[in-house]
Amino acid sequence: MITKRHRKTIRITLTYIICVLAFIFFIMPLLWITYSSFRSPSAILSGTIISPAGQYTLDNYRTILSVTDFPVYFWNSLRIGFMVTFAAMVLSIIGAYGLSRYSLKGKNAYIMGVFSTQMFPIVLLLIPIYNIIFTMGLFNTALGVVLGQLMLVLPFAVWMLKGYFDNLPKEIEDSARIDGCNLFQMLFRIVLPISAPGIMVAAFYSFVVSWGDYLVVSVISQSQKTATLTLALQRLSSSLLLRWGQVAAATVLTIVPTILLFSFVQTRLVEGLTAGSVKA
Partner 1 sequence: MKGSFLRKNGALPLILPTLIIMAVFTVLPLIKGFILSFTNANLLNKSTAYVGLENYKKLFTDPIFWLAFVHSLILTVTAVILELVFGIILALALKQKVPGIKLFRSVIMASWVIPVAATAVMFTFMVEPGYGYYNILLKFLGVKANTFWFGSLNLAFPLIIILHLWRNVPFYGIALLAAMQAIPDTQYEAAEIDGAGPIRSFFTVTLPSIRNMIIVMVTIHVLWTFNNFDMVYLTTGGGPVYSTQVLPVYVYQEAWTNYTTGYASSIGTIMFVLLMFYFIAYIRVYQQQEG
271 binds partner 1 (CB under 8 A): yes
The end-to-end CA distance of the chain, in Å, is 47
Q: Which window, 57-65, 66-74, 173-181, 256-264, contacts partner 1 (CB under 8 A)?
A: 256-264
Which amino acid appears at position 223 of this protein?
S
**Binding track, positions 161-200, relative to partner 1; x by CB under 8 A:** ----------------------------------------
**Least distance from partner 1 to the Cβ atom of residue 62, Å:** 20
Which amino acid appears at position 271 of this protein?
E
Contacts to partner 1 from residues 193-222, by CB under 8 A = 208, 211-215, 218-219
86 binds partner 1 (CB under 8 A): no
Cα–Cα dist 122/129, whole Å: 10
**Least distance from partner 1 to the Cβ atom of residue 114, Å:** 6
Vertex 241, ends 236 and 244: CA angle to 5°?
A: 60
Cα–Cα dist 168/188, whole Å: 15
**Least distance from partner 1 to the Cβ atom of residue 219, Å:** 7
User: Which one of 65, 72, 78, 125 is in contact with partner 1 (CB under 8 A)?
Assistant: 125
User: Which one of 65, 72, 78, 122 is in contact with partner 1 (CB under 8 A)?
Assistant: 122
Scored b (16 or more CB within 10 A) or e, 42-71 reads: ebbeeeeeeeeeebeeeebbebbeeeeebe
Neighbours of 211 (CB within 10 A): 22
Contacts to partner 1 from residues 45-74, by CB under 8 A = 45-49
**Least distance from partner 1 to the Cβ atom of residue 193, Å:** 19
Contacts to partner 1 from residues 5-24, by CB under 8 A = 7, 11-12, 14-16, 18-19, 22-23
Give 278's DSSP letter.
H
**Least distance from partner 1 to the Cβ atom of residue 121, Å:** 4
Are the C-beta atoms of residues 252 and 34 closer than 8 Å to each other? yes
Indicate the residue among 34 and 65 with the shorter CB distance to partner 1: 34
Applying CB under 8 A, what is the total number of residues that bind partner 1?
Answer: 96
User: Which one of 103, 135, 182, 223 is in contact with partner 1 (CB under 8 A)?
Assistant: 103
> Residue 121 contacts by C-beta under 8 Å, 6 or more apart in sequence?
none
Give 39's DSSP letter.
B
Indicate the residue among 67 and 119 with the shorter CB distance to partner 1: 119
Which amino acid appears at position 270 of this protein?
V
Burial-class residue 168 by CB neighbours within 10 Å (0-12, 13-18, 19+). Answer: middle
User: Which one of 9, 71, 109, 131 is in contact with partner 1 (CB under 8 A)?
Assistant: 131
Cα–Cα dist 132/140, whole Å: 13
Indicate the residue among 67 and 127 with the shorter CB distance to partner 1: 127
